[in-house]
């Protein structure tokens, strides 16, 4: 299984800003999008390209373009929406497959309440986006859903991941790739990531 903690000074700096409890909603949201764009750059490094000829200013020129049926971005409602603009800044033509999952505050188990996938999932790379990978229950349920739809290549982009959740993903779906801005220390008794960011959805949307 491929787990990449994307180590870049811009990501370290921006994530450091996000950890400040008194950061405004506006800034938290902006930084989530900016880090998402940087993670996308890293997660798309291995996309296949092919030659194509275009009419350039001085005549025909051979250029490279991304090969095959492309990516579908899969934001997990609701916090994943905070990363979507940054991902789409990098891949503007991507199809978006939205899924909605909510983690129960007591049992910490996710419930799926929405699923709208784009067509031909078997021919696409799915790029899940969600700020937090905590117990990994939400990610595992999403990957189950995508595989049931025929998806063969799945990547996940996160701002912060917990070691406990990563271990569960390794055991359950060892074929997926994870790109995260940080692997933090551990989960607390409420299954929140420490030091983490707190409730990412609340901070992105300004609720609570």
Residue 107 among the catalytic residues: yes
Is 19 strand, coil or helix?
coil
Residue 103 assigned ligand-binding role: yes
- Find out whether 185 and 166 touch, Cβ atoms under 8 Å: no
Phi–psi pair at 30, nearest 5 degrees = -60, -45
Nearest approach, Cβ of residue 138 and ligand PRP (Å): 3
Is residue 130 part of an annotated ligand binding site? yes
Q: Which residues 6+ apart lie within 8 Å of 167 measured at CB?
A: none
Does the annotation count 89 as an active-site position? no
- Phi (first) and psi of residue 49, to 5 degrees: -125, 165
Which member of 29, 103, 124, 203 is catalytic?
Answer: 103
Show Cβ contacts of residue 194 under 8 Å, excluding neighbours closer than 6 positions.
Answer: 184, 185, 186, 187, 188
Asked if residue 132 binds ligand URA (CB under 6 A), the reply is yes
Q: 163 to 202, contacts with ligand URA by CB under 6 A?
A: 192-193, 196, 199-201
The answer to the question of whether 156 is labelled as a binding residue is no
If you count them, how many residues does the chain have?
Answer: 208
Q: Give the span between the Cα atoms of 167 and 45, in whole angstroms.
A: 25
Q: Is 191 labeled as ligand-binding?
A: no
Active-site entry in 107, 111, 172, 207: 107
Q: Is position 72 annotated in a ligand binding site?
A: no
CB-wise, 43 or 139, nearer to ligand URA? 139
Q: Which helix (H) or strand (E) holds 95?
A: strand 95-96
- Residue 105 burial (CB count, 10 A): 8
Nearer to ligand PRP, 129 or 149 (CB): 129
Minimum distance from residue 90 beta carbon to ligand PRP (Å): 21
The smaller minimum CB distance to ligand URA, of residues 192 and 205, is found at 192
Residue count at the site for ligand URA (CB under 6 A)? 8
Question: Is position 199 annotated as part of the catalytic site?
Answer: yes
Let me know the angle formed at the C-alpha of 174 by 45 and 44, rounded to the nearest 5 degrees: 10
Is the separation of the CB atoms in 77 and 101 below 8 Å? yes
Report the binding-site residues for uracil: 193, 198-200
Report the binding-site residues: 78, 103, 130-138, 193, 198-200
Annotated catalytic sites, by residue?
Answer: 103, 107, 199, 202
Report the binding-site residues for 5-phospho-alpha-D-ribose 1-diphosphate: 78, 103, 130-138, 199
Q: Report the interface residues with ligand URA, using CB under 6 A.
A: 132, 134, 192-193, 196, 199-201
């Amino acid at each position: 299984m491929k787990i990449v903690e994307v180590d870049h000074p811009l990501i370290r700096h921006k994530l450091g800003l996000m950890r400040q409890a008194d950061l405004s909603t506006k800034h938290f949201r902006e930084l989530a999008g900016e880090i998402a764009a940087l993670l996308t750059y890293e997660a798309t490094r291995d996309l296949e390209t092919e030659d194509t000829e275009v009419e350039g200013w001085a005549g025909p020129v051979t250029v490279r373009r991304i090969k095959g049926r492309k990516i579908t971005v899969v934001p997990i409602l609701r916090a994943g929406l905070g990363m979507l603009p940054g991902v789409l800044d990098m891949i503007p033509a991507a199809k978006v497959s939205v899924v909605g999952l909510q983690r129960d505050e007591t049992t910490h188990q996710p419930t799926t309440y929405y699923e709208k996938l784009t067509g031909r999932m078997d021919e696409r790379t799915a790029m899940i986006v969600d700020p937090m990978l905590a117990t990994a229950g939400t990610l595992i349920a999403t990957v189950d859903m995508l595989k049931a739809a025929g998806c063969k290549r799945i990547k996940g982009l996160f701002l912060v991941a917990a070691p406990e959740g990563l271990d569960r993903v390794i055991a359950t779906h060892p074929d997926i790739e994870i790109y995260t801005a940080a692997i933090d220390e551990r989960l607390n008794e409420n299954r929140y990531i420490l030091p983490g960011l707190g409730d990412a959805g609340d901070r992105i949307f300004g609720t609570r």
